[in-house]
Amino acid sequence: MEENVKIEAKDFFAYYGNKVALKEINLKIFANKITAIIGPSGCGKSTFLRSINRINDLVDGFNITGTLSIDGKNIYDKDVDVINLRRRVGMVFQKPNPFPKSIFENIAYGLKIHKMYKNYDDLYEKVESALREAGLWYEVRDELNKSAFDLSGGQQQRLCIARAIVIKPEILLMDEPTASLDPISSAKIEELIKVLKKEYTIVIVTHNMQQAARVSDMTAFFMQGVMVEYDETAKIFTRPQNELTEQYITGRFG
């Protein structure tokens, strides 16, 4: 088990200014598993997720102590190249945020900025395979030059997933990826997430406990910045060890 640890938090604290957002998180996330982080609003689950690709560095006053390692290397070390980190750790956001460009350009963007293609044919091939992987190819193959905004919300979100995976990250972070979608689109995304875990380590933050139960292998329950419980999903949802976890998953507070 030990060598399969992909991400490891050790005594990880996060702060917004003086406000503590995460307290002493110790957590091992395993490679090629889907790990769900659940918890009530403001529990710090998004903060934790956004710490993994250091996108929270953009937030004024954000600060951390402790370590957060990927493959044993602390990503908050001074010598870490954030650009390269973010290339290896993709992210899908709560609201689909396609670029105001064509479908093709949306996917090609990552390849272009990292110069990850040889020629146009190669670029096209990679875009196509990412769209196939995201289950979007058959819907958009005839209109790659159309604006991404013309797609439905669910399609836009799958486009954002394709955009993230085209540069072959190792880890895929998903911040409530279905929160703004209808049930059918959500179901499609969930199916997709299950397929993607073969190639990627996936960490998904969700409000929706049923979703966590359906898609994830491991589940962590956060509350008020503390990780209350972390275990296999089946265990968390059937025999939670902590009373708070039980209360939360049975819907006694939310």
- Please report, as ranges, the residues that interact with another protein according to CB under 8 A: 53, 55, 58, 83-87, 90-91, 93, 95, 97-102, 105, 109-110, 113-114, 145-147, 149, 160, 163-164, 167
Report the alpha-carbon distance of residue 44 to residue 40 in Å, rounded: 9
Q: How far is the CB of 24 from another protein (least distance, A)?
A: 27
DSSP tag of 147? B
Q: Which is nearer to another protein, 173 or 212 (CB)?
A: 173
Q: How far is the CB of 60 from another protein (least distance, A)?
A: 8
Q: How far is the CB of 98 from another protein (least distance, A)?
A: 8
Q: Which is nearer to another protein, 113 or 195 (CB)?
A: 113
Q: Which is nearer to another protein, 146 or 235 (CB)?
A: 146
Q: Three-class SS of residue 184? A: helix
Q: Which is nearer to another protein, 60 or 77 (CB)?
A: 60
Residue by residue, DSSP assigns 76-122 as: TSTT--HHHHHHHEEEE-SS----SSBHHHHHHHHHHHTT--SSHHH
Tell me which amino acid residue 161 is: I
Q: How far is the CB of 167 from another protein (least distance, A)?
A: 7
DSSP tag of 3? G
Q: Phi then psi for 32, rounded to 5 degrees? A: 55, 30
